[in-house]
Amino acid sequence: MGLSRAEIEKALPDIEAFAEIGEFIERPVKEYSSGMYVRLAFSTAIHVDPEILIVDEALAVGDARFVAKCMRKVKDIQANGSTIIFVSHDVSSVRTLCQRAFWLDKGRLVDEGDVFPVTGRYMAFMMRDDKASDDAVRDEVAQPVPAPAEPASAGAPATPARLDSRPVTHWGSHKGVILGASVCGSHGWREDVVQWGEPIEVVIDLSVPPEISREHLSVAFSIKDLKGTDLIASTTHDMGAIRLPEQAGFQVRFKLSNWLVTGKYVLVAALEDRRHDDIHYYEYFEGAHYFASVTDKRFFGVVQPAIEQTVHPS
pLDDT at 229: 84
Query: Is 2.70.50.60 the CATH number for 169-294?
Result: yes
Question: Would you state the pLDDT for residue 61?
Answer: 60
Predicted confidence at residue 28, as pLDDT, reads 92
pLDDT value of residue 137: 42
For residues 166 and 205, give the distance between their C-alpha atoms in angstroms, rounded to a whole number: 18
Mean pLDDT estimate for the chain: 83
Query: In angstroms, rounded to a whole number, what is the distance separating the alpha carbons of residues 87 and 58?
Result: 9
Where do the CATH 3.40.50.300 domains begin and end in the chain? 5-138
45-80 tens-digit pLDDT: 888 878 888 888 766 666 667 777 788 888 888 888
- The strand pair at 249-257 and 169-171 is best described as unpaired
User: Is 287:166 a contact under the CB 8 Å cutoff?
Assistant: yes
Predicted local confidence at residue 267, as pLDDT: 94
Q: What is the pLDDT of residues 116-160, one digit of tens each?
A: 778 877 877 776 644 444 444 444 443 443 333 343 334 444 446
Which of left, alpha, beta for 19 (phi over 0: left; psi -120 to 50: alpha)?
alpha
Domain with CATH 2.70.50.60 in the chain: 169-294
The DSSP secondary-structure symbol of 10 reads H
Is the pTM here over 0.95, yes or no? no
The domain 5-138 is placed in CATH, from the list 3.40.50.300, 2.160.10.10, 3.30.70.1230, 3.10.129.10, at 3.40.50.300
Contact 11, 1 (CB under 8 A): no
* pLDDT, tens only, 87-125: 988 877 787 788 899 999 988 999 999 887 788 778 777
User: What digits encode the pLDDT tens for the residues 244-294?
Assistant: 999 999 999 999 999 999 888 999 999 999 998 889 999 999 999 999 998
pLDDT at 160: 63
**What pLDDT, on the 0 to 100 scale, is given for residue 49?**
79
